[in-house]
Structure 1
Amino acid sequence: MNKKGMAVVFSLIAVVTAGLAAAGGMVESEEKAKPSFTGEYSVAPDGRIAYVMESNGSQTLYVKGRESERSGVYTAEESQKLWSPVFNENGDLSVIETSGYPEGAPGEQEFQLAHSDIVTISAEGGKIETVLQARGVLTNLKKDPAHERLFVQGIHVSTQGEPEEGFKPMESGLYTLKPDGVFEEIRTFDTYSPGSLSISNNGEKMLMILADDYKNATPDSMFESVQRIYEMNIAEPGKLNPVPLENNDVPVSEVVQLEKENKLLVQTIMNYGEGDPLFQYDMVTFDRATGEKGERLGINESVQHTQLSQGESEIYYSKEKDRQNQQQSFELFRYHLESGEEEKIELTPQSS
């Protein structure tokens, strides 16, 4: 082939490559512009669902009504994230608006330089009130079923003073927040942040998941630690009691209380210790009185943010959805405990 012919071929390759790159950019841009569910949601006792969707880097809180109507009630400030919406007893919504986890490798993140608010939005989406402003990263809200207060979880949380620059050792905390804005610490944790908080119906006890070396973690112990379920009396938060379960050496990642049946639903690894590099997750029932394991639900996937319905007949959870462009996105599901049927809940922006 002569030089002219080679030039033509390379020109064609360049054009095709540029076209593919442009097409790929268009697809990625369209995917980014398309609203996607972030995995953050809450279900009200009357069946309404609050959920967060993101489009072009902006996050909006929506409410899906009983008749499937949808409306946007709050949009976060630019570059802010909306986490852990909850329904209050009067039907209003509270949600965390935060700058999120700071950049940096583990051991280098300066959490105290982050900022987080708790915002309350009226049920109609009109009145908006900031009920708490704090430094640090607020990560989780839970409604107390029996009292007018929220349980708040966060990392390096402070409502006063100036931030300290530089890395500080990991410290997370649990707090209560009352409607009048009174914010009080329950207890703090070094090294770890508890997961999957679950509050008893009388508001007196809290279940959580923590690594079993949480009292005195070291680099060696962290490598060998196992995630277990602990129970805390909220009035006496200094002591955590491990919940005895059969095969207690298997890590757990989600817990739900079925108080009517005195049982737990626990997400664990079904093939733990068998040498399979791909873990198989599922939810399993445990009898609280005996600690014995019962039936698997057959979800056979890892789920997050599990929530029990008012009548304890259904659980809700989100699953991470794979995308070709590596954008993190989720889907919401409802699982009927009696029938064993799983139902996907369609979440879209507000109704037209």
Structure 2
Amino acid sequence: MSVTLDDVHDAAARLKGVAHRTPVLRSRTLDALVGAEVHLKAENLQRVGAFKFRGAYNAVARLSPEQRDRGVASFSSGNHAQALALAAREFGTTAVILMPEDTPASKRAAAEGYGAEIITYDRYTGDRVALGAALAAERGLALIPPYEHPDVIAGQGTAALELLEETGELDVLFVPVGGGGLLAGSATAAKGLFPAIRVVGVEPEEGDDTRRSLAAGERVAVPVPRTIADGQAADIPGELTFSINRRLVDDVVLVSDDEIRDAMRFAFERMRVVMEPSGATPLAALLAGRAGPLPRRVGLIISGGNIDAARFAQLVGGSSVG
């Protein structure tokens, strides 16, 4: 299996009028700080507060009517859970989601609010892929994983497609990477439109499985990450996502939890934008200089903004950036 630019265009047609065409944000202060023209694709303003709705809806739309009627299942740390629950509701079917016990309460409540049935597991001892597959098989549900699925990847790629349609050719695109679905979809869209563009993934330091895997030329597992970027707490890239990313991604850079906090604080204080930790990693890479000297035109995908007020205050309550 693979994913093509045509698949991303097809997904965009399915999502038209359903997903939000999120704005591309600019900040003169940010441009001056990093010495580049930065364009931020604000997927924190997407339905369910994250890019995940794109892939979930596209995957559910691609099921046969018989499959949809039986319902869908998945496993997720939060944003895909909400996205699949909403997508299922849009199609008049049901969703059952396996979620870590330590998922932020706001993310679980949102998924339940969209109608999902939630089953919890221990992310540090349980194999979510095996548990999710068993759950789907037991109930006869269509399993739609958070990233390891061509229709999910194609849907996620529509965020980069929209960004580049609005900005024209960029020199480099920075994308958060957890399991690799957003990165794979974004790289497919970006390289398909502009072959010379550099695509760079951004991971938390404590969850550098994609960086290690690309360096090794094969998938490498790491201990389950303990990072504030819970949406990027993957321990190994997906097979399909890795097969795409090893062909199309130019580099992966790492950011610390403190750098993520600084980026969240900057976005809030200087841009009045709320980012969840995983969504802030590309901005963190720029502000902390992790990306090295920047070319003139830079794109970032801000993947999500799902964080409750108490958690946000806990993470960013401190001194200002810059």
TM-score, with length taken from structure 2: 0.28
Whose strand fraction is larger, Structure 1's or Structure 2's?
A: 1
The structure having more radius of gyration, on CA atoms, is 1
Whose helix fraction is larger, Structure 1's or Structure 2's?
A: 2
TM-score, with length taken from structure 1: 0.26
Higher relative contact order (CA 8 A, sep 6+): 2
